[in-house]
């Protein structure tokens, strides 16, 4: 991401260029390129990169990468031209790009490779199928954080900022906790298990677009903040956000999460049940197994594989499939989907499911939506 005089000059030049409006997903990818989240990528992927990532988890240069980072357009943009890339609403200029290649893609092949399905009901498949059929490749110069800093303030941290914070805290073993939901009791349990073996946990909230019905980031992060304040020891948790949209790619997205968290300074990533999944497209532990299917040197960030967690009435507390000997009749399964359903129906939520301070934040949000 450019700064100072270089930023001012490139912004002035961008105003003279043909402007292409990007999608919400592409906006998040551009910002990650700009802030160092996708280091060492320098731009949008070529056809050889796209094919290599889809079919073998490698770019043309041999870099391990699990999901294509691409920009799609109609066929009117000329190779060799410079273009400006604008926010989805057509307002702010996000980046400039030198178009070095354009190529048609097989959308069904990308979906089958990345999502493991071509079902149009899958939100990631729907996203790809709605893209134009031509990808543009080339290096980018990023001009803006897309308004994330203005909206989220100190919560929006770059990789350089999280690494500096971990150094200030004296952390070297840092576990990332990926979330697109408010943290309920199972999430709290997973984070605390990680703290037992690591110096601290980065609760890393997705700030980009979600599927309909999910709880927006500004509400989710407030709920997480009250949980950390009331139920975690000070100095063991850093909450931050990153600008991507969810792809709901399950195992492949778990690898992408681990990859970019190397740049954020995390040595480990918590991988729970159905990480980055949606519906019933993935098995509950497919994201565990995929880390064993890639080369051992592909990632520095290592997975902390966590079993299914739940409240056990016989144990009298949170437990997992590895620790609890009791049957399903004694267990309260804790899931974000169930919590959202209860809240949307204004139903009682068991205290074993979610902390009262968290529920207070979430109920206020649903009251604003007209749920009584």
Structural domains of the chain, ranges and CATH numbers in brackets = 4-146 (3.10.400.10), 154-368 (3.40.50.620)
Is 82 in contact with 98 (CB distance < 8 Å)? yes
pLDDT digits (tens, 9 = 90+) for 175-188: 999 998 899 999 99
Average pLDDT over residues 353-364: 94
Provide the β-strand partners of residue 136.
Answer: 71, 102
% pLDDT > 70, the chain: 99
Closest CA to 271 of 358, 194, 183: 194
Assess whether pLDDT exceeds 80 at residue 368: yes
pLDDT digits (tens, 9 = 90+) for 19-46: 999 999 999 999 999 999 999 999 999 9
Assess whether pLDDT exceeds 60 at residue 224: yes
Average pLDDT over residues 235-264: 97
pTM of the full structure: 0.94
Q: Residue 309, CB half-sphere, CA atoms under 13 Å: how many?
A: 22
Q: Which helix (H) or strand (E) holds 163?
A: helix 159-169
Assess whether pLDDT exceeds 80 at residue 335: no
Is 263 an annotated catalytic residue? no
CA angle, corner 352, sides to 350 and 355, nearest 5? 85
Structure confidence at residue 372 as a pLDDT band (50, 70, 90): low
Is 135 an annotated catalytic residue? no
Tokens of 278: 């949606």
pLDDT digits (tens, 9 = 90+) for 273-323: 999 999 999 999 999 999 999 999 999 999 999 999 999 999 999 999 999
Assess whether pLDDT exceeds 60 at residue 16: yes
Catalytic residue chosen out of the listed positions 25, 135, 163, 181: 181
Catalytic residue chosen out of the listed positions 25, 163, 180, 185: 180
Question: Higher model confidence: residue 335 or residue 154?
Answer: 154
Is 137 in contact with 53 (CB distance < 8 Å)? no
Across the chain, the runs of DSSP E, i.e. the strands, are 18-21, 43-44, 71-73, 82-86, 93-98, 101-104, 134-142, 174-179, 200-206, 237-242, 268-271, 302-305, 309-312, 317-320, 331-333
pLDDT digits (tens, 9 = 90+) for 77-114: 999 999 999 999 878 999 999 999 999 999 999 999 99
Structure confidence at residue 371 as a pLDDT band (50, 70, 90): low
């Amino acid at each position: 991401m450019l700064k100072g005089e270089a930023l001012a000059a490139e912004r002035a030049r961008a105003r003279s260029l043909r402007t292409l409006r990007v999608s919400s997903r592409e906006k998040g990818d551009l910002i990650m390129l700009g802030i160092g989240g996708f280091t060492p990528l320098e731009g949008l992927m070529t056809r050889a990169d796209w094919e290599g990532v889809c079919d073998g988890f490698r770019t043309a240069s041999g870099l391990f990468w699990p999901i294509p980072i691409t920009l799609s357009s109609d066929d009117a943009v000329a190779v060799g031209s410079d273009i400006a890339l604008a926010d989805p609403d057509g307002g702010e200029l996000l980046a400039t790009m030198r178009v070095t290649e354009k190529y048609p893609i097989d959308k069904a092949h990308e979906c089958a490779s990345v999502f493991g399905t071509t079902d149009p009901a899958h939100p990631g498949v729907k996203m790809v199928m709605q893209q134009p059929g031509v990808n543009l490749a080339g290096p980018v110069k990023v001009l803006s954080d897309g308004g994330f800093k203005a909206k989220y303030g100190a919560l929006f941290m770059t990789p350089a900022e999280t690494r500096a914070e971990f150094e200030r805290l004296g952390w070297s073993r840092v576990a990332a906790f990926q979330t697109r939901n408010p943290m309920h009791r199972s999430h709290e349990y997973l984070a605390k298990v990680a703290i037992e073996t690591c110096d601290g946990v980065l609760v890393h909230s997705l700030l980009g677009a979600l599927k309909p019905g999910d709880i927006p980031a500004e509400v989710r992060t407030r709920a997480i903040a009250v949980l950390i304040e009331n139920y975690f020891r000070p100095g063991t948790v850093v909450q931050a956000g990153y600008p991507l949209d969810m792809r709901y790619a399950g195992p492949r997205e778990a690898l992408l999460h681990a990859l970019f968290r190397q740049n954020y300074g995390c040595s480990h990533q918590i991988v729970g049940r159905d990480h980055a999944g949606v519906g019933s497209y993935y098995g509950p532990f497919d994201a565990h197994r995929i880390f064993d299917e890639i080369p051992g040197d592909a990632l520095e960030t290592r997975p902390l594989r966590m079993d299914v967690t739940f409240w056990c009435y016989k144990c009298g507390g949170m437990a997992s499939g590895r620790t609890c000997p009791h049957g399903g009749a004694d267990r309260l399964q804790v899931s974000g989907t169930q919590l959202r359903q209860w809240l949307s129906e204004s139903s009682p939520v068991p205290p074993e499911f979610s902390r009262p301070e968290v529920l207070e934040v979430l109920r206020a949000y649903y009251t604003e939506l007209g749920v009584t």
